[in-house]
Amino acid sequence: MKTLSVLVINLAPLQYPLLNALAQKGYKLYGNHYNSNNYYNGVHFEKINFCDRRNLQSILDFAKSNKIDAVISDQDDASYFAQAYVAEALRLPGSRIAEAQVATNKWLQRERCKEAGILIPKYILCRNLEETRQACEIIGYPVILKPIDNQGSWGVSKVKNAQEIPEAFYDTIANAHSRAILVEEFIEGEEITVDGYVWADSGPKTLAIATKSHLPNRPVAMQMLYPGKLTPEIYNKAARINEEVIRALGFKIGMTHTEYMVTTKGDIYLIESANRGGGVLTSQVIVPNVSGIDLVTRLIDDCLGINSAVKYIEPQKNQVLLKFFELPPGKIRSIEGEEEIRKHPSVLHCQVNVQIGETVHPIVADSMRHVMFILKEQGDIVRTAEELFAKLHVTYE
């Protein structure tokens, strides 16, 4: 019997649970990664193609030349789009380009959800500074400027008056791959993230909900607490609305990660959605520990066209915390305590994203967060995270 060849797009260390699971199943692994330095090397790859995730022709040529049987990814938008592109071009299982276009375009998402009657912020698509000025006046301050096709809070700004528009516009448009942005109504409330999966036989299901908090005055998420301190009414309402959103967006397979704003009146506004895992091990570690459902195996089976043994069951609501910490600025001389932290029974994952000799800068985007913990505990889990962080000793030159 032939050993199936699987192309994994994006070999970043945060995809190691997926890569390990594929290797353990005995598949021949091929990879595509954006550089030759920081890919996960804990498994064997037959070949690796080093190119940008947006170089679709290079990725497709690599897949064809190696007679790939399946293609998979689970972390970021560019890798997900490349996966859908290769899957459609080679007629392999997986998402299709039409779905990926919606999943990676916030404007298209709002258009779809507006038609479906889903609550969304007021928004206007803009391509230049003058259109942005006009949109801000129409919607009314404060507003949010964001790229229609980027992730990780890159280029997202809150604008409180007309004087702040130019600086915010140029930052936002620089981070917009299509060079188009959204000017959007600012919704006051509590942000939540909702993760789920689309089952082929029963459609989208909500598996985990978290309340979310950010750095002061910066659109960078620093804490996600599952299942979050929500009333049962709001929790169930968010779960139901999330499944309506995923159906409206037309996602047919795979993980979903969606953000909402909950107002004091209990209204729930869609912010954005993705047809992939939430990054930082959300789908690979967090959601399985919250829900009791192995999403990695499910995704592998779906992308290989296998009748999955991972069936939908009513998800659990175990408490899990994703917590980030910001370090003081400066050039690092030493880092100690990381191994001791990893041995704590509550720790599912501990990661320090800075190295000795590196200069620490203030966090302005999700990808710049310095320290990450994932904990599972029934007690005061936030306090445990803070106590563990205190054991991390960083000295500076």
Residue recorded with tokens 């007690």 = 379
* Long-range contacts at 382-391 (CB < 8 A, ≥ 24 apart): 382/223, 382/225, 382/321, 382/323, 384/344, 384/346, 385/321, 385/323, 388/341, 388/344, 388/347, 388/350, 389/325, 391/337, 391/340, 391/341
Alpha helices in 202-294 (DSSP H): 232-249, 287-291
In this prediction, residue 218 has a pLDDT band, given cuts at 50, 70 and 90, of confident
Two tokens at 88?
């459609």
Two tokens at 361?
């800068």
Residue 325, classed as helix, strand or coil, is: strand
CA–CA dist 247, 386 (Å, integer): 39
State pTM to two decimals.
0.92
Average pLDDT over residues 172-184: 95
> 325: number of CA atoms within 13 Å, CB side?
22
DSSP 148: S
Compute φ and ψ for 154, nearest 5 degrees.
-65, 125
Percent of the chain whose predicted confidence (pLDDT) is above 90? 89
Average pLDDT over residues 356-378: 92
Is-contact 49 59, C-beta < 8 A?
yes
- Region of residue 250 (left: phi > 0; alpha: psi -120 to 50; beta: else): left
- Mean pLDDT across the chain, nearest whole number? 95
Average pLDDT over residues 80-102: 97
Two tokens at 48?
């690796």
* Among the listed residues 53, 66, 61, the one whose alpha carbon sits nearest the alpha carbon of residue 100: 53
What pLDDT score does 308 carry? 85
Residue recorded with tokens 């942000």 = 191
Two tokens at 344?
């704590």
CA–CA dist 81, 277 (Å, integer): 13
Is-contact 225 277, C-beta < 8 A?
no
CA–CA dist 196, 278 (Å, integer): 10
Average pLDDT over residues 64-92: 96
CA–CA dist 43, 40 (Å, integer): 8
pLDDT of 1 above 70: no
Tens-place pLDDT, residues 219-267: 788 999 999 889 999 999 999 999 999 999 999 999 999 999 999 999 9
Please name the residues in contact with 24: beta carbons below 8 A apart, sequence gap of 6 or more. Answer: none
Please name the residues in contact with 23: beta carbons below 8 A apart, sequence gap of 6 or more. Answer: 29, 43, 44
